[in-house]
Amino acid sequence: AVTFFWLRRDLRLEDNVGLFQALQSDFPVVPLFIFDDAILDSLPSDDARVGFIHDSLAKINTELQEIGSSLLIKKGKTAAVWQEIINEYDVKEVFYNKDYEPYAIARDTAIRELLETKNTIVNSCKDQVIFEALEITKADGLPYTVYTPYKNKWLEKYNSNAPVTEFDCAAHFSSFYKSSFEFLSLTQIGFVESTIKVKPHNLTKIANYHETRDFPAIDSTSYLSPHLRFGTVSVRKLVNWAAKKNAVFLSELIWREFFMQILYNFPKVMTHNFKPAYDGIEWRNNEEEFKRWCTGTTGYPMVDAGMRQLNETGYMHNRVRMVVASFLCKHLLIQWQWGEAYFAEKLLDYELSANVGNWQWAAGTGCDAAPYFRVFNPEIQLKKFDEKGIYIRQWIPEFDLGYGQPMVEHAMARDRAIATYKAGILK
Ligand code: FAD
């Protein structure tokens, strides 16, 4: 008889709630990861995120080998893989950490039902966030849709019990199942190495985060996003640390949870405007213009540098993400869903909740979004945040003062955006 611990987007053995609980069960624990065909089938064979997952699993496997255990890796449709596992093992209990995305919720419900037909006890744990789903609500029990009161309530709850508990999994490592499973290579799961790699995170510059985070030429943000996405860091450790170091940085981690609870409570935001009043906007949706945005050839240096950084590295600085997103929705009047899908394909830190939340923020269609008449001027943004053009030159080597011809004139585009939004909202 065995217990299974199913790793998904929590790729670490340290401070992992589901793993910690699994290791206290009455049976040896088999750690499992499934490369899910339902997700992998739509990705290119050199997808850098799959490579990062594989590298992270290799690290975990090495740690497990040191204690006489190993990671069981499977590839296939999750239901078929689980069926195979319950045929092969006497699985008494299964533990996993909750994932709040609609696809994951449906998958986990189906697997739970399958396992329960065999009387396996299924335990799902909160690990990915400090406060999940409906833990932070308004007095009437409804979810917050505005960030600042959400953040205040979040902080109040956190501070009333700070620091949150971290879990010492290593103390129970002797409960792992002794094994030497074959570690599938990237090729065996049908993928190849990408030239793009996830950077290690860097928390050394966070002390001045509130002053430097908006300047893309200053390397001062944490690069935590892909690590939070795949759980190679623990959010509890991070939040306990951030609460002592920098309030502005902590508030960014709260934005992450804000958008996660928005997606959980309002799953329609994945594809639809949070504010239905914006459904009547007549987008121009010009394909040629979209291509110029994607390839970083709009003639606006800050937009082009951002898109080239994204295409070459799978990352873009937050300030620049805001500029390119506003440019697409407002200057070009292309609906946010197109930009969201492009980011989803390219970003190493692609996170459905944050991507949709921030795109809808930029488009003005989201909860607590930028007002529709706020149209970023990409030239002024450049002057404010990269005055010396240091960031721009990194991504546009040919940049000089006479760079390119803007594909659309700012004043005209601004007036056109405001008029189109106004007409759409009043419809
Ligand atoms: P830091 O500034 O060091 O922030 C630390 C962490 O806080 C981040 O790793 C992230 O987890 C969280 N965070 C910071 N800003 C935000 C925010 N605005 N919303 C939610 N969480 C935040 N972030 C993603 O993780 N995945 C996405 O798919 C994503 N898409 C975005 C799309 C647009 C149009 C915009 C404007 C922003 C998007 N962001 C997304 C948010 C933000 O740009 C990135 O989290 C940040 O740039 C990642 O770099 P960092 O880890 O160095 O950030």
Six token digits for residue 423: 């007409």
Answer yes or no: is 124 a known binding residue. Answer: no
Half-sphere exposure of 271 toward its Cβ, with a 13 Å CA cutoff?
2
- pLDDT at residue 102 above 80? yes
pLDDT in tens, 303-343: 999 999 999 999 999 999 999 999 999 999 999 999 999 99
Asked if residue 298 lies in contact with residue 327, where contact means CB atoms within 8 angstroms, the answer is yes
- pLDDT at residue 400 above 90? no
User: For position 426, what pLDDT does the model report?
Assistant: 79
SS3 353: helix
Domains of the chain: 1-128 (3.40.50.620), 129-164+208-265 (1.25.40.80), 276-426 (1.10.579.10)
Closest protein CA for atom 46 of ligand 1: 318
State the complex-level ipTM.
0.99
The average pLDDT across 352-359 equals 98
User: For position 403, what pLDDT does the model report?
Assistant: 86
Pocket of ligand 1 (CB under 6 A): 213, 221-225, 228, 252-253, 255-256, 259, 318, 321-322, 325, 343, 347, 349-351, 354-355, 358-359, 362
- pLDDT at residue 26 above 90? yes
pLDDT in tens, 123-174: 999 999 999 989 999 999 999 999 999 999 999 999 999 999 999 999 999 9
Instruction: Give the C-alpha separation, 144 to 150, whole Å.
Output: 6
User: For position 277, what pLDDT does the model report?
Assistant: 95
Phi/psi of residue 250, nearest 5 degrees: -60, -40
Distance 352 CA to ligand 1 centre (A): 11
Q: Which of 129, 358, 365, 385 to mutate to test the pocket of ligand 1 (most atoms within 8 A of CB)?
A: 358
User: For position 370, what pLDDT does the model report?
Assistant: 84
User: For position 242, what pLDDT does the model report?
Assistant: 96
- pLDDT at residue 369 above 90? no
Please list, in sequence order, all residues whose beta carbon lies within 8 angstroms of the beta carbon of residue 90, skipping any fewer than 6 positions away: 1, 2
pLDDT in tens, 160-171: 999 999 999 999
The average pLDDT across 405-422 equals 97
Answer yes or no: is 255 a known binding residue. Answer: yes
Answer yes or no: is 254 a known binding residue. Answer: yes
Distance 369 CA to ligand 1 centre (A): 16
Distance 4 CA to ligand 1 centre (A): 33
For residues 240, 241, 243, 248, the Cα torsion angle rounded to the nearest 10 degrees is -130
SS3 7: strand
- pLDDT at residue 235 above 90? yes
- Which of 24-28, 368-372, 395-399 shows the lowest per-residue confidence on average (mean pLDDT)? 368-372
- The 8-class DSSP code of residue 369 comes to P
